[in-house]
A and B are shown apart, each in its own frame.
Chain A
Amino acid sequence: MSGSLIVAGYTLREALRRRVLTVVVVLTALFGALYAFACTELFHHVSGFNFNRGIDERTLGGSTILGLSMFGALFLGTVLAVFLTASAVRGDGERGLLAPVVVRPLSRGSYLGGRLLAAASVAAAYVVITYLLAVLCTGVIGHWWPSAIAGSALRLGLAAVVVTALTLLGSVFFTATANGIVVLMLYGFGILAGLLGEIGDVLPSATLQKIANIASWALPFEALYRDALRLLVGGVPGIAGAIVRLGPLGGSHGAGPLLIPWTIGYIVVVVLVACWAFARRDL
């Protein structure tokens, strides 16, 4: 068995034995129940609205609450990725957990690969499953189904992998607490930049749009989130479409066909830099 798979398996076993995954499943079930209740209430009330000019109340309600659930799923997946990876190198090194493992005939790259594999799999799977459950909930309760479900799920999953890779890189330089703070603040900065971009689109302001664009490429999880929102409501026509594209917590925004290849390249480069820095680090 390759070193990466051994490390990944051990990391996942640790998450299971420490009941991290149990807690995640229980709390997500709670989140799901709350979401289902919110859907029921929303569609019950929204069906009584009398919109003019052809705005479909179910589309408006469904896309809005599903957009919120996407934000929630990605945020929770980000927290999960951070907690599973924040201490991978420096944190575990300072606690004395790392040395017994990395003195084995296991390259440091394999160790990082294993940690990435475990955390990214868990975080991406969590985000995708939570999103799909929200889609199912919205469809069953509100009879509204978004377009391009798979495309949105793919982008959300990739966004979770980007966050995991960034956390892994940060773990080479920062202690667990500092790394967690850095990554969560970067995440917040990315979302904020997306909101600024949305404001820039409405005003319009070229400067705000430029800030948002730079942030999108520098922190592609933000671009992936906005692109997933775009796919979610891309098929909604007219004024309803214009409203839902503004969206909750950062509007939808197409980043173009280069987004996925850029993201994959970005993840590869971040992991390579982490491997390079880890290889040079004295423990």
Chain B
Amino acid sequence: MIYTQSPLAIGLFFAFVIFVLGLSFYMARRTTSSAGYYAAGGNIHWFVNGIAFAGDYLSAASFLGICGMIATSGYDGWMYAIGYLAGWMVALFLVAEPMKRLGKYTFTDALDSKFNSKGIQLMAAISTLVISVFYLIPQMVGAGVLVQPLLGLPHWVGVCIVGVVVTIIVATAGMASTTYVQFFKGGLLLVFTTIVVGGVLFRGLSTSPDQGGTKDYHAFQTLTAQVAADGSLQVSDPAFAAAADWKTDVYGTAGFVKLVSNGVESVWKMNEGTAGIQLDETLTVNTLADGTKLYNGAAKEDGKFFAVGHIKELKVNGQNVAQTGAVGPLAYLSAIKDSTVVLWGKKYLIDGGNHIEVYYQKPTAGSRLLRPGLKFKVDNAAPIDKFNFISLMLALFCGTAALPHILIRYYTVPSQAAARKSTIVAIAGIGFFYIMTLFLGLGAMTNGVINITDNNMSAPLLALSFGVVLFAVISSIAFATVLGTVSGLIVAASGAVAHDLMDNFLGLHMTDHGKVRAGKLAAVVVGGIAIYLGIIFEGMNVSFLVGWAFAVAASANLPAILMLLFWDKTTSKGIAASITVGLVTALGLILISPDMWVRYGLLPNDAPIAFNSPALISIPASFLALVIVSLLTQKRGAEVTEGAEA
């Protein structure tokens, strides 16, 4: 509807996949040992590793999700970026060097470095597997979302392409090829987002965004209406007529009115003012009883469903203007702050057997969208809203340093100093990227490119407004983003199975070659599971699932890592208990949360708990479990941890 397939995009996409596979097979010839497979031989340069960190971290959720959320909810989307970046300070200051010092291939190694405890090996491996799989689902779903506009293929084909390509990458060469794929992709992502942001600033702001003169923006109509003495609605344009029961039908009770013009139905938002009723044009997706979907009353291919995103009133230095021309980054933000931007609300209506999604205009002051509060309820918030907000920000802060695919990257560099330096490169790259995302999101918000039914595509569609070449490149990079992140996760998961569970926990004592083979086999199995889950979770919100993964990682892993390093009374049973309690509490609270209740087809208010973000309970619970169990299992002089020197 909003986009059509481009041969260039398809060509670039396949060129990239072939390049990545070629790189992978080349690396495979050099990967014969388990150190090579799981840790790239520990020989990656810190700068390459730092950019690869950025590549790992800037997943589908960061690139597509955050830009889409900023485009539709303003600053609140950027809050995720701020939380994600702040989490790197935990990684740098507390975790980077000790992880490098204590571990060999996996995060379990570091936790178990002094204990050789079966409990730690089992629980840490399970936690790695659970978090990796949770993180894999949104990536696979993101792949499916991307492949539809890029290649014109159905969701499941996208998931299968990613699954198969990544499994080949991982099963052939492990961490070495994964690292170079991430380096390549992370670098391209930084360069090309900068180019798009440069384009956004050069183009400036306009009340009728015509995408650089290439495409007219749909001018959303406004009509006026009066209520006649007999109660009927008289529309200013006589071509439109409302039904007699316009006030009491499903539309009227929800603040809308259905009008008919030349046999075509449309839905309008009613705004009552002193001069009568103002009717604003909406966008609708109507799912008929037989499953047919109509976009603004017509089939998808007819192109009646418009891209959105415009400024209603543009002000520069207190003056109303039609366009700004090229502006600097601060002037761009300042102009948005002083202007009124049209955001979009959404309502579900049921009219007979038809299910209708109505998207309506919400003119919003720029100063309001450049501060939190449009998505998260912070103004006059109830205590439970505040709890949810603080809990989410805590999960983002604590989750980064506990993600298994991030932690294993500390084993690919040769020294502690290199681990530290690569984290700083990551912070620079990721911080720079997140500043760019603010402009990408606001650019999409004001350039008439948003597909309001799926804001995940906002960044690639913004690129499309600068021409198909940039769209092709950005889409290929976005796809590579998924490929790279999935590769890292599968290496982490395969390490947990082959190294932690099979070799250490079960004591199979495999040969070095056997360990590599077991890892590759595990990669294929985990890849298969990821493909399956990516298909069945189609349509599930990507950032929702990433939020889960962060909350679970922060609860299960971080307390164990920090206490091992900084509390000398920590015992192996304390660590195992902490991981178990963190994992079970976080997962349990998520499963009984209002958001999940909706997914079970139940009413959110009937959920046993009123909050969606578990971190504020599950992280302290995990710490508490560690402290209590450690104190109960002290052995005089027997267990001394690395934390003693801190």
B is a partner of A: no
Instruction: Report which B residues bind A (CB closer than 8 A).
Output: none
